[in-house]
Amino acid sequence: MKKCVTFGEIMLRLATPGYQRFEQSNSFEATFGGGEANVAVSLANFGLDAAFVTTLPANDIADSAIKELLGLGVDTSFINRGGERIGIYFLEAGASQRASKVVYDRAHSSVSTADATSYDWKKIFEGASWFHWTGITPALGDKAAEATLEAAKTAKEMGLTVSCDLNFRKKLWTPEKANEVMSELVKYVDVCIGNEEDAEKVFGIKAGTTDVTSGHLDHEHYISVARKLIEKFPNLKKVSITLRESISASRNGWAAMIYADDMPTFSRKYDITIVDRVGGGDSFAGGLIYGMMAGKNDEDALNYAVAASCLKHTISGDYNRVSVEEVERLAGGDASGRVQR
């Protein structure tokens, strides 16, 4: 079985019930999630050997996070225990024209304060063929950035394919700091994933005059973004850009592009009625990695990834709890939603 390793932060997710606002709710629904953990869950669901690496405190809440990952088939044997706390994020789900809100409480979390030397990357990467990280992890602080860089360098030395989802988070760092740190990290990346805001905020590469709120995207602008990323980082073999048309918080157009060998490929587009948008990009990354690891060509891997992410938008929680069969059915054109008996 092919093995993929992901590295990042898993958090306690506290969401208001239904579509209640923070000020309305007197309770929260407690689950777990985080970019790289979400990708690991997707890959495990698809039948791959997926290992998630992080640092968590030695307490009952962190134990619960690990047990849930284990129950979903993720290898947690390389999770370090130490530090003071697990990060938390609070979620208020939006609807119609009201946007969702996220409030972070993750400062001084265990993974952000762990020394880079606490991870034995050569041991962790034994038998692995793929390493995935996101721009969220180095944004947690200098120690997390150092650990990510050491991981990416070691992965490349050991012959792994390295992928990165740029995932710019303005609540974690500035565009200037992101550019400084990510410019070094992306030198060790083979497959870069992102959207138009990521490319602009992190590297100053803008998708022309495109407007995601208009309901229409100009494909030529996205081809230009991908081409400029590869010009800036010649080590990149593929660039994939998600194309989200934000019609409202409840309805999005959803598609993606992959650019490789100076050739763009676009997926089919889905009109999604959203149940839970959080984790949508991670489910796309997980689908794309699975497709490539399974030997699919760029077009088939892309369509698999978009279909996987389309389905995730209908599932509450961070994790994409779908099977290969379900994704393949949708990618093959069955978007009817008919009861499967």
Task: Indicate the burial class of 206 (C-beta count within 10 angstroms; 0-12, 13-18, 19 or more).
Answer: middle
Please, where are the H alpha helices in the chain?
A: 35-45, 60-71, 110-113, 121-124, 142-157, 175-185, 196-203, 219-232, 280-293, 298-312, 324-331
193 touches 226 (CB < 8 A): no
Angle (CA) 235 238 240, round 5°: 135
- Distance, C-alpha 178 to centroid of its chain: 17
Per-residue exposure over 139-163, b if at least 16 CB sit within 10 Å of its own CB, e if not: bbbebbbbbbbebbebbbeeebbbb
Task: Indicate the burial class of 100 (C-beta count within 10 angstroms; 0-12, 13-18, 19 or more).
Answer: middle
**Rounded to a whole number, what is the distance in angstroms from the first to the last CA of the chain?**
31
Which of 227, 223, 229 lies closest to 198 in space, CA to CA? 229
Strand partners of residue 89: 13, 104
Question: Alpha-carbon distance 204 to 323, whole Å?
Answer: 37
Quote the tokens at residue 336.
């009817």
Where in the sequence numbering do the catalytic residues fall?
Answer: 282
Per-residue exposure over 65-76, b if at least 16 CB sit within 10 Å of its own CB, e if not: bbebbeebbbbb
